[in-house]
Amino acid sequence: MNNTCIEIAFCDDYQADAGDLEKGLQEYFARKNVEYAFHTFTTPSGAFHYMEQHPIHILFMDLEFGNDKEDGIHWTRIINDTFPNTLVLILTAHEHRYKEGYRARAFRFMTKPLLAKELEENLDDCMMELEAFSTIAVRQKNTELLLPANSIVYLEAYIGGSTLHLTGDKLYHCEENLTWWAEQLQSPPFFRIHKSYLVNMAHITDILPNHHTVLIDSSLRLPVSRRKWTEFQRSFIRYDVGKISAR
């Protein structure tokens, strides 16, 4: 998403916290050299109505607004159903409400007051997830196809290019080689495990150290180069821990 402006919204009836959040956002995106826009709302319904006309990539949502109709959990559920590509991060000082947030499918949970390290880690996770939502242009003969990056299960080296193995058992042959793809697809979740394979770690269901292989979607085994094994394990553990923390 290097050429995309990241649209971020903050929804909290206590707007004094917006300044601390925006300071953290400024520092983070300056380091990433990524443009962003920041919007503030005092009610979830206000944020929702804005989102009906304007896309929001990341939404920081408080839970309590002093009004049952403006409950943060209730609106997180509605926003997830209506705008599935918006990542909602719950802000709360009440950890006992985390379980409700899980049911509402919040992307992450953050404690108030905001901590700089926690904000950075969660923004890293958001950027990785947003990259998965992005589309990739694939040239096939004289046509160009736009595919969601997260529809790619793995890529395989092919004579004159590469083969994309997609969800739903679809295949596409394209002109670009794996070196080109490794530069286009963000790591994580993508990792080049072998000179012939680039995999989406979201589809790795097991790793088999004794055989230096990975299991893809519980059925397909692919080899991991011995010289990349240690690096792959570290990357997969970091990625897998991130997935677990989101559950």
pLDDT score, position 223: 96
Please choose, from the candidates 107, 105, 126, 123, the residue with its C-alpha nearest in 3D space to the C-alpha of residue 115.
123
pLDDT score, position 63: 86
Is residue 1 one of the residues assigned to a domain?
A: no
End-to-end CA distance of the chain: 25
pLDDT band at 3 (very low <50, low <70, confident <90, very high): low
pLDDT score, position 99: 62
pLDDT score, position 145: 76
Average pLDDT, the chain: 86
Phi-psi group of 220: left, alpha or beta (phi > 0 → left; psi -120 to 50 → alpha; rest → beta): beta
Phi-psi group of 135: left, alpha or beta (phi > 0 → left; psi -120 to 50 → alpha; rest → beta): beta
Looking at the fold, whether 197 and 220 belong to one and the same domain comes out as yes
Looking at the fold, whether 140 and 201 belong to one and the same domain comes out as yes
- Tokens 């304007």 correspond to 54
Q: CA 87 to CA 75: how far, in whole Å?
A: 13
The pTM is what? Answer: 0.58
* Buried residues in 29-40 as b, exposed as e (16+ CB within 10 A): beeeeeebebbb
Looking at the fold, whether 98 and 168 belong to one and the same domain comes out as no
Structural domain including 207 reads 135-245
Is residue 198 one of the residues assigned to a domain?
A: yes
CATH number at residue 68: 3.40.50.2300
Looking at the fold, whether 55 and 121 belong to one and the same domain comes out as yes
Q: CA 119 to CA 94: how far, in whole Å?
A: 17
Is residue 213 one of the residues assigned to a domain?
A: yes
Q: CA 174 to CA 106: how far, in whole Å?
A: 36
Q: Encode pLDDT of 31-80 as tens digits.
A: 988 899 999 999 999 999 999 999 899 999 998 888 888 988 899 999 98
Q: CB–CB of 87/58 below 8 Å?
A: yes
The angle subtended at Cα 221 by Cα 218 and Cα 225, nearest 5°, is 135
- Please enumerate in sequence order all residues whose Cβ is within 8 A of that of 180, keeping only pairs 6 or more positions apart, or say none: none
Domain count, the chain: 2
CATH number at residue 186: 2.40.50.1020
Looking at the fold, whether 140 and 124 belong to one and the same domain comes out as no
